[in-house]
Structure 1
């Protein structure tokens, strides 16, 4: 039996060996960042834009709606009057969360501090999921579950798919076609 399969196994190993060598250390990191950019960059930036105030200093003044999004129970307890919510820790959480929603996706797409930014984005997704489930009380159908034969659930299924390219970037990095790759190359030559 081994004799019959040996030519096919050798062909398989040879073909995919070439694919692996061509992909090198640049392809999958670049693709993971492009997938992230095409699916999530504008999603998070549009979300972040709804959270900042008007004018040039708007990034320092989150809107009232952001408090209800990020801290729904705290905001409800304050009667939706954000002036009644303490800056530390709640206002700081809202401010940093809003900035992270702009900065982390941008860093990932350009490939700068990619591993840390990707890890931060995974944490962001975890917190977002926790707030959706406990603070906004989404229904079980929206939450879904792993291996539930319902691939359209917006929380379990969608967010695990969002997390995979980020996890790849944490473990393997952004690849040579990135600012991290460029800086690493320059450091090796200095």
Structure 2
């Protein structure tokens, strides 16, 4: 009994020490590294199929994102209206590059993670409603098969993003660096304001 109590106390002491050490930097960094390792290559590869050049969106982007509008225009991408379809293709194509890069470096992390969650939701709806993927690809929640592409995998994709929305990127990020610079600058302004004879 004494040994069991000693083990429990050791565990509690270890957790009490470990949690404050890791709390402000580890999970934010880990969530971003998971995103980098698993999803950044996927999204950057997908984004490259949507561009003919740095500032030229390809016809393929319209076929991937706005297929109903392209079909309605008789396959002529130039006849697709800018609003809402052209705008959707523009935002989706550039968002697929910009949002992952912001997340990796930890810049505007909460907004970028929220944008990425919205991107995944729209991507999933497009796969279901436009590309008509089959029921096996869509999958089901709370079943014994954890490998469906949309409901299972993409829910797991969203988890680290949801963490970043709620908690931010943590200490090892550009967000933290900018926050530190901003705080020092504001403290300098306040100090200067108090010492100024004209204040």
Match for 1:65 among 60, 66, 82?
60
Deviation for aligned residue 1:21: 2.2
Runs of 4+ in structure 1 deviating by more than 6 angstroms, as ranges, are none
Counterpart of 1:98 in structure 2 is 93
Do the aligned residues in 2 keep the contact of 1:60 with 1:95 (CA within 8 Å)? no
Asked if 1:13 is matched to 2:8, the reply is no
Correspondence for 2:69: 74
Q: Which moved more, 1:144-153 or 1:15-24?
A: 15-24
- The two structures have a TM-score, normalised by structure 2, of 0.87
Equivalent position of 1:119 in the other structure: 114
CA RMSD of aligned residues (A): 1.7
Scaled by the length of structure 1, the TM-score of the pair is 0.91
**What SS does the aligned partner of 1:42 have?**
helix
| Structure 2 residues without counterparts, runs of 5 or longer | 186-199
Distance 1:85 1:125 in 2: 24
- The answer for the alignment partner of 1:26 in structure 2 is 25
Which structure 1 segments of 5+ residues have no match? none
Structure ID, larger Rg: 2
What's 1:142 paired with? 137
The aligned length equals 185
* Native 8 Å contact 1:45 1:102 kept in 2: yes
Higher relative contact order (CA 8 A, sep 6+): 1
The question of whether the paired residues in 2 share the 8 Å contact of 1:73 and 1:135 is answered with yes
